[in-house]
Homo-oligomer: A and B are copies of this chain.
């Protein structure tokens, strides 16, 4: 369900190749959903079988040929159904790969943990910078925005990103202080 519908969501903005989708799930969308290249092609097949998307071959002479996917009417109905059908328990389900390590850390070298948290802060800052400068996020996002309405939800997503990463940095900084006190 998740990736299938995420792909439908992207294709609802714009028709795309598997390659384009792969890039979308590696960059602007990656901060709240990610996927492997192979999984994307697999799901595109599954979506085609369900008649939620169709594809058209485009023959190119300067570049390799490509298969452009677009959402069907049935796909749009399914997307709307999925969007409307939000169950609060599912939305609370959350997995945090950093936190699960922190929770079980006890015999690990404190310096190592500090280094990891420092690295984490750097990565968060990097993402924030990308968002701020608009080098990566903005132009890519704009590709998906055509309708005025969408800008509101796009803004909500962006704001989430800012707040989230700033909060992560605040937490990690606090942790490092605590760990340094310990030494």
Contacts and interface: CB of A to CB of B under 8 A. Distances in A.
Contacts of A108: 80, 83-84
Contacts of A112: 84
Contacts of A138: none
Stoichiometry, as copies per complex, reads 2
Contacts of A174: 159
Interface secondary structure of A, over-half rule: helix
Given A94-B96, A97-B93, A171 B163 contact: yes
Given A6-B100, A103-B154, A153-B103, A95 B33 contact: yes
Contacts of A84: 108-109, 112
B86 A101 contact: yes
A57 interface: no
Interface of A: 2, 5-6, 9, 12, 29, 31-34, 79-80, 83-84, 86, 88, 90-109, 112, 116, 119-120, 123, 147, 149-150, 152-157, 159-160, 163-164, 167, 170-171, 174-175, 178-179, 182
Given A9-B103, A83-B105, A88-B120, 4 more contacts: A91-B98, A106-B150, A163-B171, A167-B167
29 contacts: A2-B97, A2-B100, A5-B100, A6-B100, A9-B104, A32-B99, A32-B100, A33-B95, A34-B93, A80-B107, A83-B101, A83-B104, A83-B105, A86-B101, A88-B116, A88-B123, A91-B120, A99-B157, A99-B160, A102-B156, A103-B154, A106-B149, A106-B153, A152-B182, A156-B175, A156-B178, A159-B171, A163-B171, A167-B167
